[in-house]
Amino acid sequence: MKNFLYILAFIEGGAVMCIELCSAKILSPFFGTSIYVWASVLGITLTALMLGYYFGGYLSSKNKKTTTIFWLMLIGGFLVSVTPILSDFILPITIRFNLLIGTIVSLFFFMFFPLFLFGATSPLLISCLTNNVNDSGKSSGTIYAVSTFGGIITTFTVGFYTLPEFGIAKTLYTYGLLVILYTTFLFITTRNFKMPIAIIVLVGLLSYNFHNRFQYENTLYESEGILGQVKVIERYYKEGETFKPYRELLVNNICQTMMDKDNPEKSYWDYVDILTRNINHYKKGNNTLLLGLGGGTLYKQLRKNNLIIDVVEIDARIADVAKKYFHIENDLTVEIDDARHYINTTKNKYDIVIYDLYNSETPPIHLMTKESFKEIKAILNPNGLLIINFYGYVNRSKGKGARSIYKTLKDCDFNTHLIATPGNENQRNLLFMNSPNTLEVKNNNSTIYINENDININDAVVLTDDKPVLEHIYLEAALDWRKNYNEINAKQYLNNYGKN
């Protein structure tokens, strides 16, 4: 029995990490992937485990029955297997709450209780394996080591294989089923199997059939991975008396690319047209590094300008989707890498480097630091151009992030022009046009420049690797951005529930 209990500890540690990782991914299409979402996940995880440890310690002082452990694990496994069903129920309600309340209520509803039960098993396992007081330290260390090892193995397996390959629902269902079946085996082995156990096992086995994640009626592709949810859908817009199809790439339920099916080269984004037009005004060479592919809207426009383009994309799924659904040529070589890592390892020199790197509403904070901008300088030719696409806010608290990027670029001795796309701050983009040398516009154009004297950087901060505060200071802008998209995308997403 001792070895069986060690295997149970291994499975318990894996279950904790499985539901923690999957819960964060469940939230991402509704609340994003910011540090605040992850902080909520970690906070609820630690709270559940803390209370579980205390509860398990209390139970261990009352009895040493292994059946108590089996019951805790069985119910915990059942809750893991039905987590997709519970999240389908609660998220349409909590999406209407603000970020903090919405994430905490959601996590409490579908993540807290299984973690509480798993946490309670560790003290009970230690108690069952301790024969005398001198063995307590050894028993504790062994149980926590085995449990942690299970968590390590599961983290890598779930993060790098089962999530991208099979998705959230199948991952949770499979691991929940593993817990259920193993504890059922232990009940049978110890001759404690009863009818209520059979009922829980049966419902757990059938639970996957009741799961139906919200889907658009015309979902062409959907994938879950450690970098978030990727989805391709088709919609229609009205033009005159007819409806014309267009295709969208969504990452965590935020639109990254829109493509007119009848005219795949057409751009729906103002910033793409303005960026490519201004490249022609500023550029002094054609070698271009595009950081972030998305559905390839910007890439297509750069290609029209006869630029020589290297593309870096962190998510291999995005590269595959762009080629399959968004008319990007199959022979395009896309470097699958983190942009900062590529910048530090490439031997190439570029005339143009473009940041177009949003992951849903989250910009790449590790690429917006003083150290990163200096690394960019090292791969830019002397008259090279660095272009950064960012939120449209520049004033008040929502614009502090943009003002801090501007201040950081100035601190790195970049000459910077700040360009705004048309529209209000919450509807537009900002383009930072930067060069180590003087920026010269070749001819007049209709671009909207923001005057340097109108940018108040007194409260802005110089962003550094040591103090990566950008994610905190752009939060208000990010939440407003996601709120606007949630109204358009997520609620339509929910209204289409059950159409398939």
Active-site annotation, residues: 356
What are the Cα distances from residue 240, in Å, to 151, 196, 243, 245?
57, 62, 8, 14
Tokens encoding 70: 């089996």
Residue 93: count other Cβ atoms within 10 Å of its Cβ: 12
Whether 409 and 470 have beta carbons less than 8 Å apart is answered as: no
The CA radius of gyration of the chain, in Å to the nearest whole number, is 26
Inter-helix orientation angle 270-282/297-304, to 10°: 30
Tokens encoding 265: 């080269």
What are the Cα distances from residue 316, in Å, to 73, 151, 343, 362, 377?
36, 26, 18, 18, 27
What are the Cα distances from residue 302, in Å, to 87, 135, 237, 367?
41, 68, 26, 22
Tokens encoding 58: 């209390």
Nearest to 455 by CA among 409, 404, 415: 404
Alpha helices in 61-131 (DSSP H): 66-81, 83-94, 99-110, 112-129
Nearest to 22 by CA among 210, 203, 211, 201: 211
Q: How many CA atoms lie within 13 A of 77 on its CB side?
A: 30
Nearest to 177 by CA among 247, 82, 270, 100: 82
Instruction: List Cβ neighbours of 94 (8 Å cut-off, separation of 6 or more).
Output: 30, 101, 102, 103, 105, 106
Nearest to 253 by CA among 9, 3, 491: 491
The DSSP code sequence of 318-383 is HHHHHHHHS---TT--EEES-HHHHHHH----EEEEEE---BTTB--GGGSSHHHHHHHHHHEEEE
Instruction: List Cβ neighbours of 56 (8 Å cut-off, separation of 6 or more).
Output: 72, 119, 120, 121, 122, 123, 124
| Segment (H or E) for 450 | strand 448-450
Nearest to 313 by CA among 221, 224, 219, 227: 227
- Report d(CA 323, CA 320) in Å as an integer: 5
